[in-house]
Chain A
């Protein structure tokens, strides 16, 4: 820590260099749409200095007085050279035009990985996300992220994210800077992110900059499209399970733009006639209906007030609903009675963010955000019994509801200060006010006028989380760069005050013009836990805070990496990491989600986790054929004093080998294909393998015990799958139409979803059964844009 502070202080002396300098600053935008080009490169070749546009497209570069040739570039755009005369500070906004075919030259617009202090970080191009085959043709950024080394999918088809041995709660998933707590639709098979609404996805697995806090395993920073400032555009698609539409365009040209997108599934609508038919054929007294759907809406407005001020408002609203209704009629004492019952699950997120960008000076940029995030889950069932014609005065009426959720109100101010080309200093403060609603039960019972109405279960918990951070990304010498920082977070819950000083450090040693060695260390704190005992990211998972009895999570990660740019757009990178996680929680032995009589704190054990491994990523980034091969070798374990007799046991998603091969090939402007093959060692599950007689109890009754040798003692068979997709594009007068054909699990591998002992159909032999979810699944999708 002392070393970091010393370095920060000593480097600030560099800022005061006595030479006449001026700053060129402004925004880099897309010439076609006017949207910010996040990560665009601004470079002065003669001085070998440059800057990178931030999340809002803002850059700032301080140079000596004089005339400079400045090159602006971005992947997929024509670079632009500008002569800039600096005898005063200059404000320069630039728009880059699109290039034709993606060529090697154009990739120079991208920030070279080996030139940056960032490590364990990947940006997912949305073009790549959209060109890959996916389950049921439903394009999903999270599913594409799962193809990267170090990121595991969890169960078959799931949108869960397990980064470097961490749990699903340890990922800070940000949509326009606002945390999303449950990023799943359809019980985890799809993520909530509609690809049409997304501009940029950045995933950080380690070497965390100090600006990030609150989670210990990863940051998934997703930015929505801002909306075209020039003219109205739209995109849409019709698929097997859902359709979507996105519109964006100017409200006031070059001043105010909007983006709105919506998606809805129609499984429920398609199933309706079949359910009706089944009920018509049913000769019994019972009729059953049911359905499932999800929808989501993304919206954003951005408004340029003037050169120095800009505001954004973004919102997301999404819901999943699963419902079952049934009616049963019977006759009793010559009277007809109806029994109506209903049940269901619903869950969803609402988020809103209001941001204000302000440029205090050419060197100082600020972003202020106010945000709201709400996740809620509800399940319930009810029944009404009434006599024919007396529905308003039922004989019996009862309902049970189980509600849980988390609501955040937050605000933060982040500053970016660019004193000279060698330094980029960022600092800021923020506060989140959490309201946790962990498992509240409502029971109502009305029997001929006698009413019972009770509420029981977990109590609401309120907490304040506030933080400050400072970091400097700077050059120590021509070949050594560093990003040093510190994040200080605080948490107040039930009169208990926690704090954590979290140093972060990353160094980049340029070995030559094309390769570098990077090392990093991150200390992370997380004041939230996710209480889960399912394997597929069900919405029943409870977000709970650290409390006076349950401590907060702590993560320490060390990583070392090597990256090298090769010829013809190839790149190879390898990273080794070691991560220790403290104060993880797990349910106690025998505890259950349905155990509503105990407070959650009494149902959990606190323990540790360890993860280490090696990740290799070989990429081809240019040409007609692009893609990557990723390999991860890893070990992930857990240790809890009161679980597994205190012995270390493998994490459920401990997986020794993971391989992903991702290839896209563009034959011409009309046809491209995508091929994905993945392999993973089977997940670890707990299975009792032996049975024996238990001791007779006091009543001389003897039962059988199925012996569990250890937690997660058994390996599922390995997982592998091939997906193939073809996209056929056709230019139309109004824009472009694309037909996408896909085959998920092309060679029909029966991958394990779960294992159990039981009987197969028409067999009386007890066996170990593997249940698989998805066989070969074809998909077809029609999409358009104008």
Chain B
């Protein structure tokens, strides 16, 4: 197929020619980029940087002298972001809580001010985890109850820590693993690869197919012959912004380099700028498998 495409391209070169044309855009001025996903209970951290037009080939600069402030949904000031290093800013002394709305406002000399708003959803707890050993895989059925009053978005992590102990040296080796999803709710509403691949370390989905009822999510992982296997199940209740950004960005990355793929617009909730300001509330449970 590659040869066919190559010859097609070659054929078109028989006549084709190319030239530079000016990029006609009234203004492709740099904009402020805000990137930060925070969890309820953890310090809020964001990275601030600048965008450039697509012809720019250098490293995209971080903003180190920007002014960034944190507000709640009623515009009450909560704290200043303080620059730490490499464009990373944090709000010292403030821990976000679940069920709140947060707004960030950023200004930097020579750039248009930007703002972004998100909310920390309420924590949703896993009600049960059932395991079933198949031939070479362990299957997990994770259940939780969805809140019917709101549209919820979830991210589910299933982190397996496999530990080997070297009998001679006593050294400990471990690694984490991805998992497979066999859940329809994921493929219908989540960040399924466009090619149908359903594996990864984090899967996102909305409650569109089970709103207000009990969700049953099934996942599988390979079984290892190890000294110890511990699986951490994390159920993140994520903001809509986080969900939309993650799904679109994931799709964007998957299709890079495919000239036949349709363009993907990566979601942003930053007004007058780019990036994502999102949040989640996490529930975590640990299972000792062996």
Partner-B contacts on A (CB < 8 A): 187, 290, 292, 322, 324, 326, 341, 343-345, 379, 381, 400, 533-534, 586-595, 597-598, 603, 644-645, 686, 688-696, 698, 703-708, 710-711, 714-715, 717, 750, 752-753, 755, 757, 760, 766-775, 777
**A706 contacts B54, CB within 8 Å?**
yes
Complex alpha-carbon distance, A770 and B21, angstroms:
6
Interface size on B, residues (CB 8 A): 61
Partner-A contacts on B (CB < 8 A): 1, 3-4, 7-8, 11-12, 15-25, 28, 31, 33, 35-37, 47, 49-57, 60, 194-196, 201-202, 245, 248-249, 251-255, 258, 260-268, 274-276
**B262 contacts A707, CB within 8 Å?**
no
Chain B residues with CB under 8 A of A691: 51-54, 56, 60
**B262 contacts A690, CB within 8 Å?**
no
Chain B residues with CB under 8 A of A704: 60
CB closest residue in chain A, given B36: A695
**A344 contacts B4, CB within 8 Å?**
yes
Chain B residues with CB under 8 A of A341: 3
CB closest residue in chain A, given B29: A690
Among A589, A692, A695, A774, contact of B262 (Cβ-Cβ < 8 Å): A589
CB closest residue in chain B, given A605: B262
**A322 contacts B4, CB within 8 Å?**
yes
**B195 contacts A767, CB within 8 Å?**
no
Among B18, B56, B249, contact of A772 (Cβ-Cβ < 8 Å): B18
Chain B residues with CB under 8 A of A688: 54, 263
**A771 contacts B18, CB within 8 Å?**
yes
Chain B residues with CB under 8 A of A752: 21
Chain B residues with CB under 8 A of A706: 54
Among B24, B49, B265, contact of A644 (Cβ-Cβ < 8 Å): B265
**A589 contacts B21, CB within 8 Å?**
no
**A693 contacts B23, CB within 8 Å?**
no
**A593 contacts B260, CB within 8 Å?**
yes
A427 to nearest B CB, angstroms? 44
Chain B residues with CB under 8 A of A592: 194, 255, 258, 260-262
Chain A residues with CB under 8 A of B17: 750, 771-772, 775
**A690 contacts B4, CB within 8 Å?**
no
CB closest residue in chain B, given A536: B12
Complex alpha-carbon distance, A533 and B3, angstroms:
21
Among B22, B36, B202, contact of A698 (Cβ-Cβ < 8 Å): B202
Complex alpha-carbon distance, A710 and B264, angstroms:
10
**B21 contacts A769, CB within 8 Å?**
yes
Among A292, A695, A755, A774, contact of B11 (Cβ-Cβ < 8 Å): A292
**A603 contacts B194, CB within 8 Å?**
yes
Chain A residues with CB under 8 A of B35: 693-696
**B252 contacts A705, CB within 8 Å?**
yes
A212 to nearest B CB, angstroms? 32
Among B31, B52, B55, B276, contact of A768 (Cβ-Cβ < 8 Å): B55
Chain B residues with CB under 8 A of A322: 4, 7-8
Complex alpha-carbon distance, A588 and B255, angstroms:
12
Complex alpha-carbon distance, A763 and B194, angstroms:
36
Complex alpha-carbon distance, A771 and B51, angstroms:
27
Complex alpha-carbon distance, A145 and B104, angstroms:
57
**B275 contacts A769, CB within 8 Å?**
no
CB closest residue in chain B, given A288: B3
Complex alpha-carbon distance, A771 and B21, angstroms:
10
Among A324, A381, A591, contact of B261 (Cβ-Cβ < 8 Å): A591
Among A587, A708, A768, contact of B265 (Cβ-Cβ < 8 Å): A708
